[in-house]
A and B are shown apart, each in its own frame.
Chain A
């Protein structure tokens, strides 16, 4: 706190110290020569002070949050108010007069809009509209009730002689005071409730009320104020009517202004494709314009901004770029948090100024009691009525929290400051009372509401990750309910919501969203996309982690351990590496190192993914190079779509396997890209018909392993980067499977009768066969077989894998002449009758190895795959199905 106070201390001192010399220096004396150093405080004073205050507030926030204990117990708003009190005291002591107070003008024009915009923009709209009835009731009826009862009760208190006679106020004055003190304050509610985490329904009701009651507050305040200014004698019946009418004008007008600006905003962002950089600015500008317009027309500005944020969000989010979305989000949150901090701090400072207020215990205590009592009473009464209509009634605990959560805040304070002392003689008393009420609600209630919520066991909000199923079913439920309402013939909420959605889809979205955004605008798709992005990110994170640890231990291969997946490969390596001195035998024995290296490559592929795209840079003020980010997102998304599909089922598997599985096909394709880059997509290359069978067989194996089809396959073609040719992971997988199945159920069922399945068990062969296709079809090109074998050989002969391209290059030139070399290692594999010798490590080892990856869960999978595979084979062998997307049809065929 002290640290935060320092700059403040400096301010008045600086001002005082520097003023005299400047003033005395300038008028009489001739203009001095070129000064090396000039102090021009006055030129920068105003913005400097603003910046400093915000800095103080931010530093204070940092200090508060240094201790988790404090912030978990005490809401930030309380701390800020207390800090403000201290700072105000210091300012008062130093400058001998109260300065830097919360000015209503500043508050309403600058501090309030960001908070309201933030809350409106990020309002969960579905929840809001689901509870709109309750929110409106509390906001309108509740506020009116509070205002009138509090005002009347205070007047009664005065009549009873409990308020000192020096408080000169009539009934209208009290009514005016009641109207400004009755409104629940959005800033205070938000500050406190965000930390409490009550369930969403409760939150949205209290918070929505605090936002929407602004219209009522504004109207009541203005009406009462003008009545007071006119004098109660001059008020006529038509004025009351006008007052009631103005309620509708102000609220509906404010909402209309907000919606108009929301429409404009959405429409504008539709055309910002080439000037992405101003998108966030547009959001803020138009929302602020909505606020100012409403304020100008003396409509409810809060309502306008809330509606603007609420209405535009869907379309704006769809239209603006990903980066702009992030920018909007962060800027909005920053501004709101900043404004909130400053408001509470200034509130504390303002309270110090004793010249503004006058104390009357009767009034203060009476007000405190009345606002609490009438709030509670109002909530209970309204809830009782509402529960007659609500599907989910609000229970007693909810009502307690709602009554207790009725916090008053800066709005009330700003309004009371705005009162005219000549018209309202009791202003000073009202100011004091308002300060006490605000402090009491924010500090006492803010402090106690958390324990209260805990003690009452209020249903907390639960955060669970969205799943596609939930999203889908929620949608169907909505449609079902709408349909049932149709059948019943009752046009209720679901009916209108359905109608609205259809209207929105048909006209509004088409009008307000750019076409590309409209096409993929769907919530289910959104969830899907987000899930994939999230997985991709977590994958990259994990991949990076594993990579680094594995990479570090790489040079010292024999002594590696620790990482989960390396221990698997370690086991496998131990079983095989002893024999892999002969280069020719390597493929059959499949040294563990091969696999390890393959794993490494896959990790590298994943881990290096991000930096690989980073080289794209652009420096334009009008255009941030979107490509880098978006393309990366897209790539990760696409890559991950595939990975997710494949890995989802095998959640029990080791992360290494889930990752390496999809890699398999990718590497396969990359190989092709690298070698025969004339081929645009996987299926397109012209194949020799004679070899098509082999191709089919091999591909079946692959798709079999992958379980699920991948629709984004073709899209992936654009990423050819590091060409790692290592298929060993598939082997690891396969071996794991086979050995496990051998161990658990050694029946010959696993041993496939067909040669294709033999290949499946011995994936190296499939790898070669795969390549053999290309050998035949593209004889003029470099033969990938060599890359494969050459790679393996070089890997096994070299200790490090630091330079894969170098090791590849010589083998590429060397090996083409004898494609037989590729056949040789296959020879032993052609003995499918007993493949066990090649995996002849002890069962215990196999078990240990498998314990990481796929335990018995694999066996059903394997079983289930057998018929599937056969089916696929058949479909595949028919020549007609060898189309560009052959993988997908197979899986379809298998599943359907």
Chain B
């Protein structure tokens, strides 16, 4: 344990990061290790290039969007706390978390809503708080691929959009997005076990 905490001291603002993200010390250490491995030039932050190096991400249809989500507001670099903050969305939600939570505290990053929000912003490319028809089409195109014709894809898009679009404004707002997934166990489906 002593070695753990001494190694953890390497991480800048380890305590505030832990408070914010809820990661365990071991997990933070692991992530820091990974962060440093990704940071090839030891510059203390990650650039897009660093993340694009990851081979499997390149073939992931959402890879680019995930990388973008690490760089909010068009910034070009992400430091460790930013890196961890994004990953904190995928920390498994424990049931105690939601029950004992202090109402004054901000919602933890791994709450259902925040998980959904993370997914939502992957769809919402222009950041206007709505998934437009075009954005939906693009996502579907990524997901379905080229196996169906453009027309079919467009009609799927129409159908998908209509299904979720409750106020009939031709776009899916975040609330509508959350509503369309209310039956799904998002806490479970958007969590990774090792990120405790």
Interfacial residues, chain A to chain B (CB-CB below 8 A): 389-392, 462, 464, 467-470, 472-477, 479-490, 492, 494-495, 498-499, 502, 518-522, 524-525, 528, 531, 641, 644-645, 648-649, 708-712, 860-861, 864, 888, 895-896
Known: A479-B61, A860-B168. A520 touches B148 (CB 8 A): yes
A864's partner among B147, B168, B190 (CB-CB below 8 A) is B168
The answer to whether A488 and B195 touch across the interface, beta carbons within 8 angstroms, is yes
A524-B143 Cα distance, complex, nearest whole Å: 8
The answer to whether B189 and A477 touch across the interface, beta carbons within 8 angstroms, is yes
Query: Is B155 at the interface (CB under 8 A from chain A)?
Result: yes
Known: A391-B92, A476-B143, A644-B159. A498 touches B60 (CB 8 A): yes
The answer to whether A708 and B31 touch across the interface, beta carbons within 8 angstroms, is no
- Chain B neighbourhood of A494, CB < 8 A: 192
B37, B92, B170, B188: residue with the most chain A Cβ atoms closer than 10 Å: B170
A44-B191 Cα distance, complex, nearest whole Å: 62
The answer to whether A524 and B144 touch across the interface, beta carbons within 8 angstroms, is yes
The answer to whether B122 and A470 touch across the interface, beta carbons within 8 angstroms, is no
The answer to whether A712 and B151 touch across the interface, beta carbons within 8 angstroms, is yes
- Chain A neighbourhood of B148, CB < 8 A: 519-520, 522, 525
The answer to whether B119 and A473 touch across the interface, beta carbons within 8 angstroms, is yes
- A-B pair count, CB < 8 Å, reads 168
B170's partner among A473, A480, A895 (CB-CB below 8 A) is A895
Identify the closest chain B residue to A462 (Cβ).
B183
Known: A469-B164, A472-B143. A487 touches B54 (CB 8 A): yes
- Chain B neighbourhood of A469, CB < 8 A: 160, 163-164, 180-181
- Chain A neighbourhood of B44, CB < 8 A: none
Known: A522-B145, A712-B155. A487 touches B66 (CB 8 A): yes
The answer to whether B66 and A480 touch across the interface, beta carbons within 8 angstroms, is yes
B31, B123, B155, B191: residue with the most chain A Cβ atoms closer than 10 Å: B155
Identify the closest chain A residue to B170 (Cβ).
A895
- Chain B, interface size category, equals 35 or more
Q: How far is the CB of B47 from chain A (nearest CB, A)?
A: 14
Q: How far is the CB of B96 from chain A (nearest CB, A)?
A: 12
What is the 8 Å Cβ interface bit string for chain B, positions 169-196, against chain A (1 contact, 0 not)?
1100000000011011010111111110
Known: A469-B181, A487-B87. A391 touches B62 (CB 8 A): no
Q: How far is the CB of B141 from chain A (nearest CB, A)?
A: 11
The answer to whether B143 and A464 touch across the interface, beta carbons within 8 angstroms, is no
- Chain B neighbourhood of A864, CB < 8 A: 168-169
A-contacting 9-mer, from B3-11, B13-21, B101-109, B132-140: B132-140
Known: A498-B56, A896-B133, A896-B134. A488 touches B154 (CB 8 A): no
Extra A-B contacts (15), CB below 8 Å, given A649-B165, A895-B132: A392-B188, A477-B190, A479-B60, A480-B66, A481-B192, A484-B66, A487-B87, A488-B192, A489-B34, A492-B194, A644-B159, A649-B168, A708-B162, A712-B151, A860-B168
The answer to whether A499 and B87 touch across the interface, beta carbons within 8 angstroms, is no
A468, A494, A861: residue with the most chain B Cβ atoms closer than 10 Å: A468
Query: Is B49 at the interface (CB under 8 A from chain A)?
Result: no
- Chain B neighbourhood of A472, CB < 8 A: 139-140, 143, 160
A470-B48 Cα distance, complex, nearest whole Å: 30
The answer to whether A476 and B154 touch across the interface, beta carbons within 8 angstroms, is no
- Chain B neighbourhood of A888, CB < 8 A: 151, 154
Query: Is B126 at the interface (CB under 8 A from chain A)?
Result: no
Q: How far is the CB of A130 from chain B (nearest CB, A)?
A: 10
Q: How far is the CB of B51 from chain A (nearest CB, A)?
A: 7
A474, A484, A487, A710: residue with the most chain B Cβ atoms closer than 10 Å: A487
Q: How far is the CB of A75 from chain B (nearest CB, A)?
A: 29
Known: A464-B183, A494-B192, A710-B155. A483 touches B34 (CB 8 A): no
Q: How far is the CB of A612 from chain B (nearest CB, A)?
A: 24
Q: Give 14 pairs: A residue, B residue, CB < 8 Å, sorted on A.
A: A391-B192, A392-B188, A473-B181, A473-B184, A477-B189, A477-B190, A482-B60, A484-B87, A485-B192, A492-B193, A525-B144, A644-B159, A711-B151, A711-B152
A457-B188 Cα distance, complex, nearest whole Å: 21
